[in-house]
Each structure stands twice: as C-alpha cells, then as structure tokens.
Amino acid sequence: MLGSIAALAACTSTANMPPAPAVPDPNAGYVTELAPYRIQVGDLLDVRLMLNPELNEEVSVRPDGRISTTVVTDEVAYNRTVPELAAALRQDYAKDLRNPRLSVVVKSFSPTRIYVGGEVNSPGEMINIGPTLTLSQAIARAGGHKVRGDSDAIFIIRRGPGDVPQFFSVRYTDVIKGRDATADVRLAPYDVVYVPKTGIAEVFDFVQQYLLNFVPINWGFSYVVGNGGGNSTVIPQTVTTGH
C-alpha cells in the first residue's frame, strides 16, 4: 500500500520543474506573432469607400458565412483575412465603380466557442474573445474532470475541410502530471473536447443499470447477537436486489 502511494507521488512530483519566479517575466504570455485574424460568422464589418462615402455601410457575416452590401449581392467573408475580403470586394465593386478605394474594418468580433463534454463537472459551451483556449484552459473552465473521467483517453472532435468531422487524441495526463508543457495544445474554434469514462466507471454503470436494477440477485449474510452472558444467537438475513 505504501509502495503504491509512493509510486503515485513520484508520478506527480514537481522536483524537476524550475521554481516559479516571485515576479512574472514581463513577456510571459506574450505571443510575438499572432496568426492573421480570420473573419467569423457574426462579425460586424464596416465597408468603407474613400471616394464614394455614400456607399459606406455596416454588414454582419451571416450564418452561411457571406455578406451582402448595396452593390454586392453575395460575397464569402467567413475564414478570410481582412485584406483577402477587401481585395475580393474591390473586384466586385470595380464592375460598377472605376478604381474603387475600398477598405474593410472589423467593428465587433464574434467570440470563439469551444465545447467540453463527458465526465467534467460543468459541461457546456465555453465562450472566449481573443486567442482560442488551450486544452487545459477549456477543461478548467468546465470545472475539471471528474474522478470517473479517463484523463488518458480525452479526445477532440474538430470540423475539418468540407465540414467533415475529425478525431484527434491529446496527452492531457502529460499536462496535469507536469511531464510535457507542449501537450497543452491550443484548440480551434468550435472544437469539442470530450472526456470519456474510465473502464471501471463503465463497468460500474453497467452493473447499476443492468444487473442491480433489472436482474434479481439474492445474497445472504448473518450477524451474531450476544446477551453478555456467554450465550449468543446467529440471525440469518437475505437481501434481494432488482425488481
């Protein structure tokens, strides 16, 4: 027993980690070069034309990922960078205007959404503005995984090209055991992080749902009642489970 406890403690040892500084480095958490922002559904865009201000307008990115303006019936905005969308709109406006000087400004950003389900304390939608959450941040937002959750079997469901779902394994145990910080991967918008049950929990649920609740099981025991004078009586008992 003591050996098992010692082995468990060794797995979670922080002896090999550098001590936390008293004051964080000013550059801690700073990303030197963020990826270009890609327009999301729900973003509010300001389309401006320097030489034709009467055509300035605000448009929202629709659920189908497109926008409509006074001049352009339909243009794809979703997942494009601002320069990419501005270039596409210039080509569209050039059909009616000579050398349109057009710019696009994102006035409000639709928050990114991550979903955490399975054996966590508070499953649901996690809303965030800015860089998407990391694996550990998302699970922490969900209140952490339950004892019944299998931290070695957590996986991600992600919508890939053509909206085809993909499965990705993660190494969450390496994060919470302090083994490998790079295992704390950054999630993509609309990712689903799923924490499955442990095998033991699955067996327990099976026993509860199918054996104890539906299959009658008789088991017996007995206990001894003494009167303090050396005499005792054995009383048998029988318990029936199920319906």
Q: What is the mean pLDDT of residues 81-110?
A: 95
* Residue 22 clears pLDDT 70, i.e. is over it: yes
The tokens of 175 are what?
């994060």
Fold classified for 111-197 = Outer membrane lipoprotein wza fold like (3.10.560)
Superfamily of domain 44-108: wza like domain (3.30.1950.10)
For the chain, the structural domain boundaries read 44-108, 111-197, 200-225+233-241
Q: What is the mean pLDDT of residues 36-49?
A: 94
* Residue 51 clears pLDDT 70, i.e. is over it: yes
Q: Which of 30-44, 97-111, 213-227 has the lowest mean pLDDT?
A: 213-227
Element (H, E) at 104: strand 102-108
What gap in Å lies between CA 233 and CA 120, rounded to an integer? 50
Q: What is the mean pLDDT of the chain?
A: 82
**Nearest one of 138, 129, 131, 111 to 40, comparing CA atoms:** 111
Please tell me the predicted confidence (pLDDT) of residue 218. Answer: 52
The tokens of 76 are what?
């794809």
The tokens of 186 are what?
């950054």
Please tell me the predicted confidence (pLDDT) of residue 8. Answer: 47
What gap in Å lies between CA 191 and CA 133, rounded to an integer? 10
DSSP 217-237: EEEEEEEEEE-SSS-EEEEEE
At 203, the pLDDT band (50, 70, 90 cuts) reads: low
Is 68 strand, coil or helix?
coil
- Which burial class, exposed, middle or buried, applies to 119 when counting CB atoms under 10 A from its CB (0-12, 13-18, 19+)? buried
